[in-house]
Amino acid sequence: MQFRPGRGRAAELPDLAEAPDSREGAVPDGWAPLSIATWNIHSCVGIDARFAPDRIAAVIRGLEVDVVGLQEVGWHHRGEQGIDQFAFLEQATGYKALAGPTKHHRTAHYGNALLTRLPVLEVEPLDLSLPVREPRGALAALLDVSGAPVRVIVAHLGLDPWERNAQVSRILDFVQARPPTPTVFMGDLNEWRPNAPRLRRLFERLPDCAAPRSFHARLPTLRLDRIFISPDLHLAGYDVVRNALTRRASDHLPVRARIGVPPLARAAAAD
C-alpha cells in the first residue's frame, strides 16, 4: 500500500482496509537504512496475566531494529511492584531510553517511550490530553541516521473518535510547525475503522504506512498499531512479529519496518 500526494489527492487515497500484513522490499541503493518498530507492551503484563518485564526486554532485543516506539510503559492500574520500567528496559536491552510519561505515581510513571541506538539530536514531548479523558501524549525525537536528521514520533491515541480527531490535528500541526524533515509517526492509534477520517488525514501528509493486523496478540484481526512515513522516505518492507514469545508477552504484537533515508537528506544535513 503506497500513495504519493499530488493532483486529485482524495481520489488517490488507498482503501486502508486492504493493507497487506507484510511487504518485502529493499532499501534503494545509496539510501541509508533505518529499522524501526512500534509495540504496546501492556505495562509488561502478558495475556497470561503475568508481570514479566524480562520477557518484554527479550522481545525487544530480538526485534534487531535501530528504534523502538513503546506504549503503555510503566505503572498503570495493574501495578508493577515499584519497578521503573523505563530505566529497566534501557538497562535490559542496551538501548537509550527516552521517556514520555503521561501519568505519574509516587514510585513509577506510565506512558510512551522511544528506545534508540542512534544519536539523539533533540527530544520534544507533545501533550495530547483532552478534558475528562485519560492523559495522552506523544514523544518526538530528532535522530541522526547516517548523518541525516529524521524525526521519529511515538504516540498512544485515545479511545473515542472525537478524542483521536483532536489528537491527530495536534500531531499534524506539530509536524507542520517544524522545519521540513523526514518524519516517521508510529504508535497504537486505537483506530478500529480502517478507513476512518483520522487515518485518511494522516495519509494525506504521511503517505505510506505499515499497518498489519496486530491486535489481539492471540488472534490478530485489528490494525491498531501503525507506522507512517513522510513522502521523502521509502518504506521498503514491514511485518508483524508473531511468535510464541510475542503472542504471550502483551495483548498487542510488535510491528516492524525497514525504511530508506535518501542521500539528499544526508547531503542537506552536511551543508
The DSSP code for 15 is -
Give the tens place of pLDDT for each residue, 198-223: 999 999 999 999 999 999 999 999 99
pTM above the 0.75 mark? Answer: yes
Q: Tell me, what CATH number does 56's domain have?
A: 3.60.10.10
Q: Is position 6 within any domain?
A: no
What is the per-residue pLDDT across 64-103, written as a single tens digit (0 to 9) for each? 999 999 999 986 545 556 788 999 999 999 999 999 999 8
Position 18 in a domain: no
* Number of domains observed in the structure of the chain: 1
Q: Is residue 225 a contact partner of residue 38, using CB atoms and an 8 Å limit? A: yes
Q: What is the mean pLDDT of the chain?
A: 91
Q: For the residues of 74-138, what is the DSSP string, one character each?
A: E--TT--TT--HHHHHHHHH-SEEEEEEEEE-SS-EEEEEEEESSPEEEEEEEE---TTS---EE
In a domain, residue 12? The reply is: no
User: Does some domain include residue 7?
Assistant: no
Cα 197–Cα 102–Cα 221 angle in degrees, nearest 5:
45
Task: Say if 135 falls within a structural domain.
Answer: yes
Over residues 130-158, mean pLDDT: 97
Percent of the chain with pLDDT over 90: 80
> In which domain, by residue range, is 70 found?
32-270
Helix (H) / strand (E) element for 70: namely strand 67-74
Residue 132 neighbours by CB distance under 10 Å:
5
Mean pLDDT, residues 121-140 taken together? 96
Torsion of CA 201, 207, 213, 215, to 10 degrees: -50
Residue 187 identity (one-letter amino acid)? G
Position 109 scores a pLDDT of 77
